[in-house]
Structure formats: structure tokens, C-alpha cells
Amino acid sequence: MKSYKKSSERIALICSLFLLAASSNAGASVSVGVTLFNSDSSVSESITVENANYASSALLLPYNGFADFPYSIHSSGAGSSTSSDGKFTDTISAVHDGEDASNVDASVETKSGSFRWSKSVDSSEDIAMSMGIATQIVNGELDSSYTNSDSSVAKEISTRNSMYSDKSYITSGSLGTQGSGSSLDEMENAFVSHVEAQHLGKTALVDSDVFELTDTEGADHKFSDIIKLGSDSGSLAGSVSILSNNKCELLPMTGIVSGPIIAAMKFTPFYTATEKNIFEVQTVPKDGTPMSFRAVERTMPGDIKTFESVTLSMTAKWT
């Protein structure tokens, strides 16, 4: 325990900080940088927002246990987009009592979407930091990245006539994100996804595409991704589904004939440092040719209903 004598050699500072960055004008950008330090720890935060609100508060004490507080630094904040085209970058790094620095970072940009996030940092016997982020796009684009000291996740999502939402949670020792989406109607819908996870020296990259290039009703689609990066293992899962309604059937198109409904997934594993493939690129379907369909009206007696689905999925685990 730090002695009062030692602490008296430092400036005893108890302060509360309140930061508010707000922008209502399209394209306006606001940046805030804060460094808090005492005899135990140093915490630095850097926040940049564009078309977003952000507010935070901090409590800075001279050392852990001062005045019976369970921490020496506490900082928390939250923000949200104010426009469908918004952006934020939030970076936190901290050093505790001469130990290695740890960090939690997030960066999100949406077009035709929205986001909100919150974060907190506590320095007590150790540093505890976390950040939670939620995003949503409707007929739009999402470009996001989440990072901690050991790993990172990057997502590039684009949707047409479809929506996508995800939630992510980052701590200094773990990173998790889970997203899902679906088409809004059965015509001219599309989902394009590029998801990359770096962890334990390996990078797993999944590309997913589904298109319905027709203006007639036929099929819906759904998609999802889940990434969990822990202290000693990582996992990634993604799926794309095409679902027919009860009036149509999915007629497979093969060979050089391609239908207006297309779906494919690609998995690329490589060593992060050298970018050398761990093994060759894998695809679903296995032969690398996208699934291709045409939705045609099913000529069945009126009292018969049929529903068809095709699901492409990938999972990966590594240590």
C-alpha cells in the first residue's frame, strides 16, 4: 500500500472532469485528448467524433485506496451518432505501476446507419478497461475496427434492401463481436461482408456475399457473424442463408448459366506477421463457384406449401 508520505510527495489531486463534444453539422469533427495520471497509473484517452455526441467524466485520486475509494482513477463515457452518416474513434491506453501498457480502441463509420458506444476505465490494483459498441445500418455501409493489446477485428459491411446490426465488447484481455442482418424485401437485395480477426499471430478473414439481382419477388436472405477472441484461443463464425417463400422454389443454375440469386463465402487464413497462408483459401461451396439460383413460381396444388433454404456457413477456431 502506498504510504501517505509517498503520496504527499506528489500533488494530491482530486478532480472531476466532464467533457462534452457535440456536433450537429454534417461533416463536423471534434477531437478530445485527455491524460490522467497519479502515483499508481497513467490513463490516456483520445476521442474523435464526426456527427456524434460524446460525454465523459473522470475521477482522479492520488493513489489507490485514497479516502477509501476502491480505485485511483475512474473514467467513463458514452456517445452516439447524430446523423445517419457518422464516425467515431475512441482510443484508451493505460499503464499501471510500471507494467506493460494495455489498450482498448474502437473506430466506427456508418453510412445510412447509427452507432452508440460507452467505455470505462478503472485503475486499482490493476487496470480494468472496457468498451461496448452497437451499430446498425439500413441500406448502408459499416466500416469498423476494434482492437485491444492482443487482437483486433475489422468489419466492412455493405447492404442493399437489407439491414445489419452488431454489438461488440472489448476489454484489455478479450474481444467479442456479434452481428446479424436480413433482407427487407425479396427484390434486389444484397449483402457484402469482409470480416477479419487477428489474434495469437494468426489472421482469419471471411468474405461473404449474397445478391438477388431481380425485381421480382423470390427469396429473402439472412446473415450473421460471431467473433470471440480470448486469452488463449480465438473463434470466428459466419453464415449466409437464402430462403424462398411458399410461392417459389429455388431452381439451381449450374455451369455457365448463372441465376440472379448468388451466394458465396471465402475463408483466408494467414500468419499475421508474414502474411503467409496457413493453408490455402477455403470456399463454400467447396469448388469456389458461387451458389446460383433462380426463384421460379412453383406449380403445385393450392393447398401445398413449400419452403426452401440454403445456408452457407464457416467456423474457425485457433490457438
Give residues in contact with another protein (CB under 8 A).
202, 204, 250-252, 254, 265, 267, 269, 278-279, 282-287, 289, 291, 293, 300-301, 303-319
Backbone angles phi, psi at 296, to 5 degrees: -120, 150
Q: How far is the CB of 113 from another protein (least distance, A)?
A: 29
Minimum CB distance to another protein, residue 100 (Å): 24
Q: Which is nearer to another protein, 77 or 218 (CB)?
A: 218
- Closer of 72 and 283 to another protein (Cβ): 283
State the minimum distance, in angstroms, from the CB of residue 307 to another protein.
Answer: 5
Nearer to another protein (CB atom), residue 35 or residue 315: 315
- Minimum CB distance to another protein smaller for 87 or for 221: 221
Residue type for position 220: D
Can you spell out the DSSP letters for 49-90?
A: EESEEEEEEEEE-SSTTGGG-S-SEEEEEEEEESSSSEEEEE
CA atoms within 13 A on the CB side of 193: 33
The DSSP 8-state label assigned to residue 274 in this structure reads T
Nearest to 168 by CA among 138, 203, 130: 130
Residue 317: CB minimum distance to another protein, A: 5
For another protein, give the closer residue by CB, 32 or 296: 296
Give the shortest CB-263-to-another protein separation in angstroms. Answer: 10
Burial 81-116 (b: 16+ CB within 10 A, else e): bbbebbbbbbbbbbbbeeeeebbbbbbbbbeebbbb
